[in-house]
Structure 1
Amino acid sequence: MFIIIPPLFIILLFAVYHYIRPTRTNSTYKHPDPFPFPKHHIYPPNGHQGSKSPSHEPQRPRRKTPLQQQLASDKALYYQLQNFQDYPEVLPVARKRLLELINHCIQEVSKLPDQDKAKTILSIPSFDAEALKNFLQAQDDITTARFQEYLKRRKDGGEREMFKDRSYAEYWIRQSAPVKYVDGSWLGGVHRVTTRPQERRWTKTAWQILSEELGDGDLEKNHVAVYERLVHSVGGKGRGDEKEFVESGNRDARVWTAAVAQLAVSLESGEFLPEVLGFNMAYEALPFHLLVTNHELKELSIDPYYFLLHIVIDNNDSGHSAMGREAVVGLINSAPNEVTAQALWRRVQAGFILAEGLPTTPTPHSPTILKLLEIFDRKAITAKPMHIACPAKIGGKNGKTISEWLDPEKYHSHCHDFLIALAESRWITPGEPEESRLLQELKWGGRMFGAFTNEEVVVLRAWIEELGDQTYLVPKPTTVMEDYQKFIGRGKLPRAVVKEQMPVQVQLVDAPKGATEAGNKTEIPLQRALSLLILAAAPFEYLPSNLVMTASPNGMAAIKVLRALYGFLPETEMVAGMDEVHRGEPLGVVEISQRLGGRLDESDGLVRVVMGMSRMPRKYWWELVGVQMGLVEGVMKERVWREYGVEKELVEELGQIAGRVRGVLRSSVEKAGKEERERVRRGQWVVMEALQKGRRRSEVEREC
């Protein structure tokens, strides 16, 4: 029996060998990308379509579309914001990006026909609490009706509408990770020691939402940890704040842009509070896609609990939707006059529009992509042996060889990632099929001529054209606040806050033996004690701006400490929800100090050092544990406040708060090693030395 080797197979093997063989020069020629066929090899200047030996001239950098440039920029910004303590220079960049996004979303909603605008938050031109409640309820009713229609379609034999198969569902979960790892981060900076006194009642309600998203200090219930476990179960790798994760195959531009918006607004929430509360109110509403996602993941035997959590905990009766609305209503109703109230409302609307205008789910596969996936699926068996000799990879350092991508046994599990990697490779020029080398190789004279039929090439061409779609591009405005300013009208815009840099390079020294015990007996002037009582809430206040960091035992300890210092009820197996809101105005250490006439003295050297360290929780974690312990023992003892003549109820409240904080910190230190415990003592000494000697700003900075 004769074996007939297809001529095409022979041509392809010869072409691959001819290209990858060592050249007769002093060095081996290596092409920088996995599809090493420069255009001028196929189309020489004279127009003859023939083969030529590879040129050794340097390749020009591959041209990126504006959307690809945006993707690269937002991914870099995401990483720096997730690690902001190492990139302090990123804050003004993030603020500018945030304003660009707000501007863009306001522009988009302004283009809507009047009948469509009437369905948005703009349907409430002037603030009215009842109108807002009815609007949000109407949105939920629309979502419920849509889901009922969906269920009817499915019952009548309709196919899944979000996930065609398990492979795509797993891909979708991995692609969604950037925005899920920052879910709730917009509230990370909403309630700090520097928050204005008149706003703290409502920022505390918003922070409670964040606390419940983080499991109220229980890692098992932490939403980021829940999603991280889900991602790892479907083949994802790395933590959300690591470079490995950012450099992986997550290349959906709109997901990264949405994630950047959430991180940026967190670090600027002091000046963007109305926008933050509006943003939060939109996010806590029930979206249709969440109901469908939960339903279809169950069908595919993928754990949907992360999505179920958000369906139930965000309810508009006692959950986060109701709490988010309460925070908005409370803030606006507390305005000193009608003009201020309406200006706040416009800014709340801007935040709502920002959240509504930035999709948080991966871009759905178009019919063209689905057809192309089927084409490559059919080609996999034939194509794999033809590319065995090609060692180059598609997808960068985390990519695979062509043979690995087209392995028939594995193709289906990573086919979606393959298309992304192919789109990012030098084979493809997004939006320009004729400039794409892959398409050129399929023509006469190309090394893949005949591998695709006419109809298959039409699909491939359509896909390349789709890659040029700039729908999710956020254009750079000439003035980043122009449309925002028009939208706000005469309202006061967020101002850029340029604060003096806090001292963060603290030279810590070992505490003398018995020094911390001596510091506990130090007498402090009343006004300084009140200032330091406020400071007691500061050591861990920046941690919630990085939700990935909180998804750890240490992070959960910090959340419990903050809950105690902020005046929340002790943790239980359940969530407090609106019960906490209905308590009235419970007091944390900041409120107790302010009630006694205290204020934070930012000229105090100890204040400056501690607040500087608090901005770098990853670097100074154990020192901050010591600082927190030092402040609790130095300024929160009941004896100290009784001697000041403070009323009994407040003294007892401080005692209960201090007891809860001590319990959490003691548990953390007991699990620490010798080196970590020494760092804790150094942190304690920062506080105790300042208390003992009563040093002011210049002295503390000089010694530290």
Structure 2
Amino acid sequence: MDFKLNYEIVLTFLVPSSISRTIASLLLFTAVFCLRRIWKAQESQSPRGTHLYSPPKSRFIPSAAKPIAKDSGFQELEFYKSLFFKLQNVEYHPEVSPIARQGILFLLSEALREYTKRESHSSIISMVTFNKEDLSQFLQNHQKSVTDKYAKYIAERHAGGPRQLVRDRQDAESWLRKIAPLKLVDGAWLGHLNKITIPFALRPVMKKTWQVFTEELGDGNLLQHHVHIFENLLRVFEPELPSPTTEEILHPRLNFNSIKYWRAATAQLMISAFSEDFFPEILGFNMHFEMLQLDTMQAAKELPEVGLDPYYFILHISIDNSHSGHAAMSMECVVDYVQKVLEMEGEKAAHTAWRRIQAGYILSEWLGSEGIHTADIRHKLDSLPCDQLESSPCNQLDTRICEIFRAKAQAAQGIHTACKAKIGGRSLDDWLSLTSLQDENWQPNFLQALAASKPWVYPGESKKSRLVKECCWGGKMFGAFTREEVSTLQQWIDSLEPRRNLFYFDFVGLSKEINCRDCSRLNILSRTAPGLLKSTGLTDEITPLLHHPQLSSTWPKLSASDLDLPLLLPLWFSQCSLLESFVYAPGRTSGLMGCAVVRLLRAQLGFEIEHTVITGIDESHTGNDNGIVGMGLEMIKRASLPIPTDLSMLLDRWPSDFAEEMLRLSSKPLQNFGVLLGIFAALLEIQGIIAEAPSAGLLSPESYVLLQVLFRRQCHYLQECKQYVSTDERLLVDYSRGYAMAKTETAKWVKVNVQK
């Protein structure tokens, strides 16, 4: 039915017979014309994307381009939010690990690629070789640049100028919501750094760097905990703020909608998750992130002007200072690390270490800059080099592309006969022959020819490739491929970058496989006999095991002959793994129990007793590993045994199924918390026995005194944790099982009866 017939029907039903049909026609056309003008005027004033339908301006340039871009931004935002949650609960979401690894390699490459294009002497990249004095001067210049800008800002404010960071209270609340994802994981880039599996030679550097993390966590003092302080600030206008470790923190109602800050927060969690592989990059990231920033100083001044507490920002101006604070400590860690690598591996390795430190520094700086465009990261991840990642997405992509074309060939037979386009000298009909596509040799030839056929495919540039454009709205193949198939096609094209190599590897001068070295922890876990926990035959009956271990003169006196060191040492070192992973998400420690675990770990590492005033760089100058690991190494040395380089070598020399089981259990600290705490309690008793047995000659007199202090501190913090456990019946059962397991093991290497 055409328009004329429709129009006649309208006139028949709506126009009275007494009115001239000609006049009626004129009136109806006038009304339609006016309505169309009104509709178009409203459309031009409305935000794009609010109408159900908007006719395309051109057949080849879809008007939906901008809404698609918005949708892409939304998908990127959701991508980072999902990683943010899963990386803080990684033991429940192990599938996120390979994605996170690819993601941090991609972000490192993007940051380095952009910065190496700049002709600027202000970038750390300009320091081709490492020099302590040059680095110190570079960092001083950065601080002077920030303070000069702040002085100019203050002068403008004193002259009557307006606030520059926030306009009013509402704008301040909006800004705080914007930065919230990053501040709610404050310190997360260091969360996984404290690992018993890192080489023993690097532990002094690790300890000094991890001190920055513990101070971010208030050294276990809730009132000084940075995330807790920021949460309290947000709760002034968001009283129902959920924990940053829960999925509720992702809810749109909170209006945490800045991709920049979700990306930056997630990047911290990603790089931290692979702390052993990216140790130097984390040191560089730490050095930049702990420097003085202009917006921090502006916030400290402007927030009280609009009625909000500025203490979170005041705290970071003071604690990050370049004399004795985090900025100074971070630089010292970098210097110590490069010098250690130089001593151990030589100049070439030290230069590579410096390049990797630069890479981490640039990543932090880049994440904080404006105008980053990585909306295609979700597609880029699956296109990263196969030989540089734990997974092999490239071969999978090739297979999926072949499957798609084979499926389409059935429906496309004969359709491309008139097409003049040639792919590798063959027509499309030849390539898409059903018989040919079944040939396994034909498939790679087809993909190779397609990859080299510009303008259909521009390797690494799916948006520029005509093949993708033709599959989208306005293209000749729109509708022939589903959205998922087009997405796969884009991923495949983006994977075709020259050399299939990440810029990061070129920059730092690593071969493709070095950065994917085997992690000591993974090596250990792969040897662990599964099910050891169940094989003990322990029942779930709650036993009275929640006593508070303390030094007692009733324990027997030990001598060196009373201990079996080959059985003791694996457990002595592995006990440090039990709770180390519980604190990797800062938001999980912003409670009383989490703070107790932080203090317990500080005691294990030999940090000084917590005080209302932080020790800062004074403590990091000690340089000695005076914690539990350091004492274990002292035992080995005094027994004239060969010193292992790391825990993996130690367990190769002195195998222990129970030590490996402890490592396996500690990889899931949330699920196994009760068991881990029970094991820790039993092994802590042995620390107490050894601390009271200087005649055994295992340690120096000074170390015995120190061990007694560390033992008492750990007992105190353990008691705080057990108060939490006592409120949960399941945790009580788990605690009892863990305690009984460990007591069974310790009986094997203490040759006398140490039970009370």
Q: How do residues 457-496 of structure 1 correspond to structure 2 at under 5 angstroms? A: 478=497, 482-489=502-509, 493-496=514-517
Bigger drift between 529-538 and 275-284 goes to 529-538
Which stretches of structure 1, 4 residues or more, deviate above 6 A after TM superposition? 360-363, 514-517, 519-523
Q: How far apart are residue 477 of structure 1 and its match?
A: 8.6
Q: How far apart are residue 487 of structure 1 and its match?
A: 0.8
**Is 2:262 aligned against 1:256?**
yes
Q: How far apart are residue 170 of structure 1 and its match?
A: 0.5
Aligned partner letter, 1:673: T
Instruction: Report what 1:659 is aligned to.
Output: 712
User: For 1:306 and 1:646, how far apart are their aligned partners in 2?
Assistant: 43
Among 611, 616, 634, the residue aligned to 2:663: 611
Q: How far apart are residue 182 of structure 1 and its match?
A: 1.5
Instruction: Report what 1:358 is aligned to.
Output: 367
Aligned partner letter, 1:590: V
* Conservation of the 8 A alpha-carbon contact between 2:105 and 2:502: no
Aligned partner letter, 1:684: Y
* Conservation of the 8 A alpha-carbon contact between 1:100 and 1:480: no
Instruction: Report what 1:681 is aligned to.
Output: 736
Q: How far apart are residue 608 of structure 1 and its match?
A: 2.1
Q: Residues 183 and 516 (structure 1 numbering): CA distance in 2 closer, same or farther, change over 3 Å?
A: closer
**Is 2:554 aligned against 1:554?**
no
Q: Residues 630 and 580 (structure 1 numbering): CA distance in 2 closer, same or farther, change over 3 Å?
A: same
Among 31, 38, 47, the residue aligned to 2:52: 38
| CA shift digits 1:546-574 (9 cap, x unpaired) | 11111111110111111000011111110
Instruction: Report what 1:327 is aligned to.
Output: 333
Q: How do residues 86-165 of structure 1 correspond to structure 2 at under 5 angstroms? A: 86-112=92-118, 114=119, 116=120, 118-165=121-168
User: For 2:579 and 2:714, how far apart are their aligned partners in 1?
Assistant: 12
Instruction: Report what 2:416 is aligned to.
Output: none
Q: How far apart are residue 219 of structure 1 and its match?
A: 0.6
Local SS of the residue matching 2:576: coil
| CA shift digits 1:531-559 (9 cap, x unpaired) | 21112211111123111111111110111
Among 722, 746, 753, the residue aligned to 1:691: 746
Local SS of the residue matching 1:596: helix
Local SS of the residue matching 1:542: helix
| CA shift digits 1:17-44 (9 cap, x unpaired) | xxxxxxxxxxxxxxxxxx985217x99x
| CA shift digits 1:73-95 (9 cap, x unpaired) | 11111111011111122212111
* Conservation of the 8 A alpha-carbon contact between 2:532 and 2:661: no
Aligned partner letter, 1:487: F
Local SS of the residue matching 1:134: helix
Alignment RMSD (CA, Å): 3.2
Among 245, 249, 272, the residue aligned to 1:245: 249
Q: Residues 188 and 480 (structure 1 numbering): CA distance in 2 closer, same or farther, change over 3 Å?
A: farther
* Conservation of the 8 A alpha-carbon contact between 1:176 and 1:362: no
User: For 2:628 and 2:675, how far apart are their aligned partners in 1?
Assistant: 21
* Conservation of the 8 A alpha-carbon contact between 1:536 and 1:628: yes
Instruction: Report what 1:581 is aligned to.
Output: 620
Instruction: Report what 2:171 is aligned to.
Output: 168
Aligned partner letter, 1:343: T
Q: Residues 504 and 214 (structure 1 numbering): CA distance in 2 closer, same or farther, change over 3 Å?
A: farther
Q: Residues 348 and 512 (structure 1 numbering): CA distance in 2 closer, same or farther, change over 3 Å?
A: same
| CA shift digits 1:571-591 (9 cap, x unpaired) | 111000011022231411111
Q: Residues 608 and 89 (structure 1 numbering): CA distance in 2 closer, same or farther, change over 3 Å?
A: farther
Q: How far apart are residue 527 of structure 1 and its match?
A: 2.2
Aligned partner letter, 2:502: E
Among 493, 497, 503, the residue aligned to 2:518: 497
Aligned partner letter, 1:648: P
Q: Residues 327 and 285 (structure 1 numbering): CA distance in 2 closer, same or farther, change over 3 Å?
A: same
Gapped regions of structure 1 (runs ≥ 5):
1-10, 16-34, 46-60, 364-434, 436-474, 696-704
Q: How far apart are residue 213 of structure 1 and its match?
A: 0.8
* Conservation of the 8 A alpha-carbon contact between 2:542 and 2:733: no
Q: Residues 539 and 76 (structure 1 numbering): CA distance in 2 closer, same or farther, change over 3 Å?
A: same
Among all aligned residue pairs of Structure 1 and Structure 2, give the percentage whose two residues are the same amino acid.
30
* Conservation of the 8 A alpha-carbon contact between 2:545 and 2:736: no
Instruction: Report what 2:584 is aligned to.
Output: 545
Instruction: Report what 1:446 is aligned to.
Output: none
Among 540, 551, 568, the residue aligned to 1:529: 568
**Is 2:659 aligned against 1:628?**
no
* Conservation of the 8 A alpha-carbon contact between 1:100 and 1:477: no
Q: Residues 509 and 579 (structure 1 numbering): CA distance in 2 closer, same or farther, change over 3 Å?
A: farther
Aligned partner letter, 2:306: L
**Is 2:221 aligned against 1:225?**
no
Aligned partner letter, 1:495: C
User: For 1:220 and 1:362, how far apart are their aligned partners in 2?
Assistant: 36
Q: How far apart are residue 110 of structure 1 and its match?
A: 1.3
**How many residues of Structure 1 are paired with residues of Structure 2 in the alignment?**
535
Instruction: Report what 2:196 is aligned to.
Output: 193
Q: Residues 480 and 174 (structure 1 numbering): CA distance in 2 closer, same or farther, change over 3 Å?
A: farther
Q: Residues 505 and 62 (structure 1 numbering): CA distance in 2 closer, same or farther, change over 3 Å?
A: farther
* Conservation of the 8 A alpha-carbon contact between 2:546 and 2:722: no
Q: Residues 159 and 342 (structure 1 numbering): CA distance in 2 closer, same or farther, change over 3 Å?
A: same
* Conservation of the 8 A alpha-carbon contact between 2:225 and 2:590: yes
| TM-score, structure 1 normalization | 0.70
Q: How far apart are residue 158 of structure 1 and its match?
A: 1.2
Q: How far apart are residue 325 of structure 1 and its match?
A: 0.3
Q: How far apart are residue 643 of structure 1 and its match?
A: 2.8
Q: Residues 674 and 78 (structure 1 numbering): CA distance in 2 closer, same or farther, change over 3 Å?
A: closer
Aligned partner letter, 1:594: L
Q: Residues 235 and 123 (structure 1 numbering): CA distance in 2 closer, same or farther, change over 3 Å?
A: same
* Conservation of the 8 A alpha-carbon contact between 1:99 and 1:481: no
* Conservation of the 8 A alpha-carbon contact between 1:202 and 1:327: yes
| CA shift digits 1:25-80 (9 cap, x unpaired) | xxxxxxxxxx985217x99x9xxxxxxxxxxxxxxx98864333322211111111
Instruction: Report what 2:311 is aligned to.
Output: 305
Instruction: Report what 1:646 is aligned to.
Output: 699
* Conservation of the 8 A alpha-carbon contact between 2:182 and 2:261: yes
Aligned partner letter, 1:73: F
| CA shift digits 1:606-647 (9 cap, x unpaired) | 222222222222222233222211111134522466435433
Q: Residues 167 and 242 (structure 1 numbering): CA distance in 2 closer, same or farther, change over 3 Å?
A: same
User: For 2:331 and 2:238, how far apart are their aligned partners in 1?
Assistant: 38
Aligned partner letter, 2:360: G
* Conservation of the 8 A alpha-carbon contact between 1:102 and 1:350: yes
Q: Residues 668 and 349 (structure 1 numbering): CA distance in 2 closer, same or farther, change over 3 Å?
A: same
Q: Residues 321 and 94 (structure 1 numbering): CA distance in 2 closer, same or farther, change over 3 Å?
A: same
Local SS of the residue matching 1:164: coil
User: For 1:571 and 1:515, how far apart are their aligned partners in 2?
Assistant: 28
Q: How far apart are residue 694 of structure 1 and its match?
A: 6.8
Gapped regions of structure 2 (runs ≥ 5):
1-34, 40-48, 59-66, 373-472, 474-493, 550-554, 637-642, 751-756
Q: How do residues 178-217 of structure 1 correspond to structure 2 at under 5 angstroms? A: 178-217=181-220
Q: How far apart are residue 240 of structure 1 and its match?
A: 0.8
Instruction: Report what 1:339 is aligned to.
Output: 348
Task: Name which one, 1 or 2, has greater alpha-carbon Rg.
Answer: 2
**Is 2:343 aligned against 1:289?**
no
